Each structure stands twice: as C-alpha cells, then as structure tokens.
Structure 1
C-alpha cells in the first residue's frame, strides 16, 4: 500500500506504507494511514528527522562497504536496500517547505 504526504507548500511525497509508518514513528506521530503534522508540530518533526538522518549516515559510514546490506524485507518481499536517510530526505524537504510557508502536512492512502 502507498501513503502520500501532501502540503500546499510543496509537491507530494509518495512512500510504501511500511516506510511511511517508520518515518511517522521517528517524528513522534502515530503510524496511521491518515494524519497531519500541524504547523506547531513542524519544528519537532524536522528535528526528529534530521537526527535520524544524521545517525543513519554515521552508522552506514562506519560500516565497511562489504557489510552494507544489498536487500531489505518489505511488505511485498525482498527489495533493494535503501537507507533511512535516502527515504527520509524527500519528506524532510517537504516538511521544511511547509514550515517556511506555514502550511500543515497531511498524509493518506
């Protein structure tokens, strides 16, 4: 299943449900199929995503290249590995634009 993050501030960000739910949890939101990041919650969501992105980059940088995963389990079986920071960056960009323009971010299926 696909979840789309939307804001009047920028273009949509589309993700697999399992990835979107993980990022919601990182931001301190309930992992639901519909929700909102209010204008007041945007700074905390940005802080949480930036921290997670930084930690993920550090973890992968410290890992020898031959030990880095090539595959990961997804909702529909195995798929090529994509790091947390690669997945979170488009959402972070959307949320930062939303904060600049003072618009909420919503998501739904």
Structure 2
C-alpha cells in the first residue's frame, strides 16, 4: 500500500505504507483512512515532525555512545533516518503553508 499526499501547492509526495503510517502517527492523524491537514495546522505539523527528527537523532547518538562503551557494534550508519524520510513531506508542508492550501491523502 502507498500513501499519496496531495496539495495544490506542489507535486504529490508518495510514501510506502510503513513510512506514511509512521508519519501520520507522529502527527496524531489516523493512518487508516483519508485525511487532511488544514493550512492553520501546518506550522504545528512542521514543528512536530522536526521534534520527532531531533528526538530520533538524539536516541541514535545515545545508542552509539552505549555501544562504544560496551565495545559493541554501533547502529548502522547507513540506515535511512526519519530526517530523510520526512524531508519531502516537510517540503510539501512548507509549500502548502506559503500557498495557504491544505494537504489531503486517501481520497
């Protein structure tokens, strides 16, 4: 399954099911059905995603430090992080904010 996020302000952003579901859960949206982010909700959505990215990065640094202290292998440095996964969606949010238009999915 794919999630297709649409806005009149930019091209569609398409995500695989696990990534789109994670993004919607971070935003407190129901991943099961169609949805909308209204223009007035966009600043909070951007902040929420940025906070989640910073939290994931801090957790990764903790995991690395703990692994080094135990002289174990560190987490995979080539894994695809939340920052990379949500970057296109944050761009879509920013374009939609500038154009004062909503983002929809599942319709």
TM-score range, shorter chain: 0.7 to 0.9
Which has the larger strand fraction?
Answer: 1
Instruction: Give me the whole-angstrom Cα distance separating, in 1, the residues matched to 2:83 and 2:61.
Output: 12
Q: Highest CA radius of gyration, 1 or 2?
A: 2
SS in 2 for 1:31: coil
Within 1, Cα distance between the matches of 2:18 and 2:46?
A: 20
Equivalent runs, 1:68-79 vs 2, <5 Å: 68-69=75-76
Please say if residues 34 and 107 of structure 1, whose CA atoms lie closer than 8 Å, have aligned partners that are also in contact: yes
Count of paired positions: 100
8 Å Cα contact 1:28-1:45 kept in structure 2: no
Unaligned runs of 5+ in 2: 68-72
Structure with the higher helix share, 1 or 2:
2
SS at match of 1:48: helix
RMSD of the TM alignment (CA)?
Answer: 2.2
Equivalent residue in structure 2 for 1:67, among 57, 74, 81 = 74
State how far apart, in whole Å, the 2-side matches of 1:23 and 1:16 are.
Answer: 11
- Alignment TM-score, normalising by the size of structure 1: 0.78
